Amino acid sequence: MTTAATRSHHTLTALFLALAMAMVVGSALGFEHIGGYIPCALCLEQRTPYYIGAPLMLVAAIISRAGGPSWAVRGLLAVGGLLMLYGLVLGVYHSGVEWHWWEGPASCATSADAVTTDAGSLLGDLSSTKPPSCDAAALRVLGLSFAGWNVLASAALAAIALRAAARR
């Protein structure tokens, strides 16, 4: 039997997770579109758990708030936690590639040599421009790259989601 306190906890936790996941991926998009940091293939892949997880947590919050079955809410919270664990693994893998502990995937290309300044050749340059290499961190803050910060964010969000999923 689910108590009102547990239902409220699940609702608030799911809302927090949805907001936090949206903020993390929103920050990545901000660095890309406002800051000009072009993401590599692994950077883009690390966003996938957030793209799936944020709306999923919103659904969990709605089900919980509407008085839906506790098992459904807890199941969605568990899936959100597993998505964040997947994001954590991707972040650790990408960090290892950046620190040259192991090789990155073949899809990680080298960066383009020049920036297009001629609007007439823009379309032609789009097909030849490649994303940056996965083994070079675009920015490090307090010693951590974007991938390293993703590891911390994913670990924290996974812990919160899985703990809430375990609460009856």
Average pLDDT over residues 31-42: 86
H/E stretch holding 121: none
Amino acid present at 127: S
Query: Is 35's pLDDT higher than 70?
Result: yes
* pLDDT tens figures, 9-18: 888 999 999 9
Average pLDDT over residues 127-144: 73
> Using the 8-state DSSP alphabet, how is residue 119 labeled?
G
Average pLDDT over residues 59-79: 92
> Using the 8-state DSSP alphabet, how is residue 94 labeled?
H
How far is residue 30's CA from residue 103's CA, in Å, rounded to a whole number? 28
**CA-angle at 15, arms to 10 and 18, nearest 5°:** 125
How far is residue 69's CA from residue 16's CA, in Å, rounded to a whole number? 20
| Range of weakest confidence among 17-26, 32-41, 73-82, 127-136 | 127-136
pLDDT > 90: percent of the chain = 45
* pLDDT tens figures, 39-68: 888 888 999 999 999 999 999 999 998 988
Q: What is the mean pLDDT of the chain?
A: 85
Q: How sure is the predictor about 1, in pLDDT bands with cuts at 50, 70 and 90? A: very low
pLDDT at site 110: 58
* pLDDT tens figures, 104-135: 787 776 545 555 566 666 666 555 556 677 77
